[in-house]
Structure 1
Amino acid sequence: SPAPTTVPPPSTLGLPRIAPPPSASANKAPVPAAMAGTVPGQPLRRRLKADDDAFGAVGDYAGSFLIKGGLELSTGYDTNPARLNKPVGSPVYVVAPDLLVMSDWERHALVADLRGSFSGYTNNMPATIDGFASPSPVEINRPDFTGHVDGRLDVDRDLKLTSQLRLRLATDNPGSPNVQAGLQKYPVYAAYGTTVGFDQTFNRFQVAAGATVDRTAYTDSKLTDGSTFTNNDRDFNQYGGIGRFSYDLKPGLKPFVEIQGDSRVHDQAADRNGYFRDSNGGYAKVGSSFEFSRILTGEISVGYSARNYTDPRLSQLAGFLTSGSLIWNASGLTTVKFFTDTQIAETTIPGSSGVLVRTYSAEVDHDFRRWLTAVGKFTYGTLDYQGQNRNDKTYSLEGNLIYKLNRNIWVKGTLRHDILDSNQAGSSSQGTVVMVGVRLQN
């Protein structure tokens, strides 16, 4: 699939409305002597919140911040890491750190969520130049990082100021037509930006809005013949705004209307094929968030998205969109999750306006024991390349088995099969990944 667009999802309006913790002095039970410091006059140590997960990370407090960190180390085999029509396999290792920092204040909030990974392959892929074998095989190692820092300033009971800083580092996905022929290794792109806005409540009516600024920039491509190719024509800035109007219809049910608009301005007026890709677009959607006795929670919405391009040769890219996140606690041992999202992504294909990307994912988590969890996940996606009559379908079936030794060490096994089904001859591919690893967390 192509590199994702930087249009912020609904969550970038700011943090969810978090109920403040109870006052430190209200209804406070006596603290046992064991909780007190060993030195006379030393302040009492912080009382940790109740934790229902006997094998979850506890974290540590640094002042008024709770910090949780983890590191996953995995190794295995991928039968087709480059997602070629004729598979070439390779052993693979993955290093994936993550860090979560949350404030514990009576007012205001600050949350940093940082997650990254590096996938390394010991076998390089064969390459060809004009039909002849290249002496320089292709490196397919891929970094991936997603991070955001969300802040909320409580001006008063009904008015909150919200903000977000975000960063995404990645490469084009293997099998994408955006991947150039003759690459020595995948170029890395950075998509970063900010949202600044507010959240105002009028009794049951709520207005949340924000201004967004984002930038996407690619490194140069290194080719197998030793030369480099600039990707400046893929670099662009995006300026926009987003607003949501919602109403507390009744406890647990909150319908909303959301509207977003933006302009994309590229560093170069024309791309490598002579197309002018500056554009204006946006979406409108309706939906609802809900919480029914904590058994079924989340939100779901439907709408319509459209984008118009400066170049008259590029037709309008428009389509129906869905977005949502549902969590069903089927029982004390089983949780079912459903996610859907729609994006309009950029492309380098001549004559194609862009890509309408739809993704649908279902996941089932089941605890055989508190220390043994199985996770099954199925993902289906469609990629419609406007103006080129290219349609790709993606399927991914994944199973995980997690053995939790204690709160700090988990052992994990993964089996995943990916399918890319394209209507373009020679573009379809399949690959199977088998991994085993350990997670260290605190």
Structure 2
Amino acid sequence: MARLVMLGTVALAIAGTPAAAQSLAPSSAQNLPPAQPNAGPNQTVPENIGVADRIRPEYYPIGGRIGSFFLFPSLTTSVIATDNVRATRDDRLSDVFALVQGRARLQSNFSRHALATEVFVDQSVHARVPSEDVTQYGTMLSGRYDISRDTKVSAQFDADHRAEDRTSYNSPIGARSPLRYDRLRGTLTGEQSLGRIDVTANFAAARLRYDDVTLLTGEFASQAFRNVDSVSAGVTIAYEFRPGVSALVRGTAQRNAYPDDGPTATQPLALIRDSRGARVEGGFRFELTSLLYGELRAGYLSQRYSDPRLSSANGLSFGGDLLWNVTPLTSIRVTADRRVDEAAQVNVAGNQVTELTTSVDHELLRNLILSGYLRYSDLQPIGPIAGSHELGGRLGARYLVNRRLSLRATLSHQLRTSPVQGFGFTENRGLLSAQLTF
């Protein structure tokens, strides 16, 4: 309890920083930063935005105004109950834990260009299994430079220290505590409009470094083989051949390098997982009847590995994101994706992932939103390991009390079926949270 009180005090001190800043009057909602495009307060159904993501001016946080910037600090306190805290098939442990999350976002309100930065600190405190306690923190800096109305350049940089979720298919089996890692990531994006043609080019680089773990048996397990440096670049060209409907083509290339990978004295047969990948897709982007929005793509992907023992991962790729505002109060979103993800085993180069999700949001009251979510994933490892399947679902409600306070409750279920020993699991989880935004 003393730890919870201390954490709450520190987070409140962070969140209370803008108290001396000039606050906006409640009637000044039109001066809020443009957090969402096309989300004007007088629109019955904002364009291309689902029910759960809409700005509701009467409940939008006031924030603190500092010159041409707005500061939005928040503090979220959650109580979470789980019947399988380590996400294991055997030796299941139930637990109740508190999660305290502090955020502070500083965002510009320029007529042109944009600049934003954010810092966060998260701390979990478990009642039964204290080895599951984790501290996560990080920062983000982003900006956009409007060269002209048709030409924009944006960039973002993230640096954070995180813990891998126990339900992740990359989480080490049998680890005493969640795996910690450090991540640096930067992206650079350029956008150019040429009449009916829109061109978007992007470049990204990331560096991940993983801490070692101790197993429940007391053995030490190095995770250095997972350290990875990756770079990627892509171009998307969209041509609007009729109002609201565009044809597009997208090409991306990626390179992954594992500096500490390959055979060792303890793992003489470990793979060299350095790889180069490419993905080319074509499709459509559409806006129909002001209620149906989406993007559908299909094409071909290839991932080639440096190790001669590994075959290339080639085949169909696809992606889709469909939003249907069924009524002004109900939204349905469906997404689909097929890709190659990195793996966390020395004898597996990656995972071919096929993922489908669907979500439904309904505005029961102006300040009460009900939500449902369902996800299915098929995981096929590139290596001598059998495939797995994941299924997850969630029901939730969010109640907006006022501009400063919102409450949330969710019930979720997740399972993984796998012939691999110790890889499958089921988990049920309940959450109650309160978010205070200044």
TM-score (normalised: structure 2): 0.79
- How far 1:146 moved relative to its partner? 8.0
- The RMSD of aligned alpha carbons is 2.9
- Determine the C-alpha separation between the residues in 2 that align with 1:46 and 1:331: 25
Q: 1:142-153 alignment to 2 at 5 Å?
A: 142=134, 148-153=140-145
> Per-residue CA shift, 1:244-286, capped at 9, x if unaligned?
1111222222221111112212212515533211111121112
- Determine the C-alpha separation between the residues in 2 that align with 1:304 and 1:395: 26
Aligned pair partner of 2:110 in 105, 111, 120 = 105
> Per-residue CA shift, 1:178-228, capped at 9, x if unaligned?
444553322212332222242222222222213322211112224457675
- How far 1:421 moved relative to its partner? 1.4
1:245 corresponds to: 237
Task: Compare 96-105 and 407-416 and name the one that shifted more.
Answer: 96-105
Is 1:339 equivalent to 2:335 in the alignment?
yes
2:306 corresponds to: 310
- Determine the C-alpha separation between the residues in 2 that align with 1:89 and 1:418: 15
> Per-residue CA shift, 1:280-314, capped at 9, x if unaligned?
11211123333335422343322322211111112
Task: Compare 111-120 and 305-314 and name the one that shifted more.
Answer: 111-120
Is 1:409 equivalent to 2:392 in the alignment?
no
Tell me the percent identity.
23
Q: Is the 8 A contact 2:173 2:423 kept in 1?
A: no
SS in 2 for 1:139: helix
Q: Is the 8 A contact 2:319 2:338 kept in 1?
A: yes
1:83 corresponds to: 87
Aligned pair partner of 1:73 in 74, 77, 97 = 77
SS in 1 for 2:59: coil
Could you list the runs of 5+ residues in structure 1 that have no partner in the other structure?
Answer: 1-34, 37-44, 125-137
Cα gap change, 1:356 to 1:144, in 2 (>3 Å): farther
1:141 corresponds to: 133
Amino acid at match of 1:372: L
Aligned pair partner of 1:200 in 178, 192, 202 = 192
Q: 1:11-30 alignment to 2 at 5 Å?
A: none
- How far 1:116 moved relative to its partner? 6.5
Amino acid at match of 2:234: I
Cα gap change, 1:143 to 1:246, in 2 (>3 Å): farther
- Determine the C-alpha separation between the residues in 1 that align with 2:261 and 2:307: 10
2:10 corresponds to: none
Cα gap change, 1:170 to 1:289, in 2 (>3 Å): farther
SS in 2 for 1:303: strand
Amino acid at match of 2:64: D
Cα gap change, 1:422 to 1:158, in 2 (>3 Å): same
Amino acid at match of 1:94: L
Amino acid at match of 1:432: N
Is 1:296 equivalent to 2:292 in the alignment?
yes
- Determine the C-alpha separation between the residues in 2 that align with 1:88 and 1:57: 39
Amino acid at match of 2:31: L
2:37 corresponds to: none
Amino acid at match of 1:88: L
Is 1:48 equivalent to 2:31 in the alignment?
yes
Q: Is the 8 A contact 1:319 1:356 kept in 2?
A: no
Aligned pair partner of 1:188 in 180, 188, 200 = 180
Q: 1:316-355 alignment to 2 at 5 Å?
A: 316-355=312-351
Q: Is the 8 A contact 2:224 2:261 kept in 1?
A: no
Amino acid at match of 1:48: N
Cα gap change, 1:306 to 1:181, in 2 (>3 Å): same
1:93 corresponds to: 98
Cα gap change, 1:402 to 1:155, in 2 (>3 Å): closer
- Determine the C-alpha separation between the residues in 1 that align with 2:126 and 2:313: 37
- How far 1:112 moved relative to its partner? 4.4
Cα gap change, 1:70 to 1:337, in 2 (>3 Å): farther
Q: How many residues end up aligned between the 2 structures?
A: 387
- Determine the C-alpha separation between the residues in 2 that align with 1:378 and 1:168: 29
- Determine the C-alpha separation between the residues in 2 that align with 1:186 and 1:434: 20
1:9 corresponds to: none
- Determine the C-alpha separation between the residues in 1 that align with 2:258 and 2:189: 25
2:253 corresponds to: 261
- Determine the C-alpha separation between the residues in 2 that align with 1:253 and 1:436: 42
2:396 corresponds to: 400
1:61 corresponds to: 65
- Determine the C-alpha separation between the residues in 1 that align with 2:31 and 2:167: 47
Cα gap change, 1:335 to 1:185, in 2 (>3 Å): same
Aligned pair partner of 1:368 in 353, 356, 364 = 364
1:15 corresponds to: none
Q: Is the 8 A contact 2:334 2:358 kept in 1?
A: yes
Q: Is the 8 A contact 1:298 1:324 kept in 2?
A: yes
- Determine the C-alpha separation between the residues in 2 that align with 1:166 and 1:405: 32
Aligned pair partner of 1:220 in 199, 212, 229 = 212
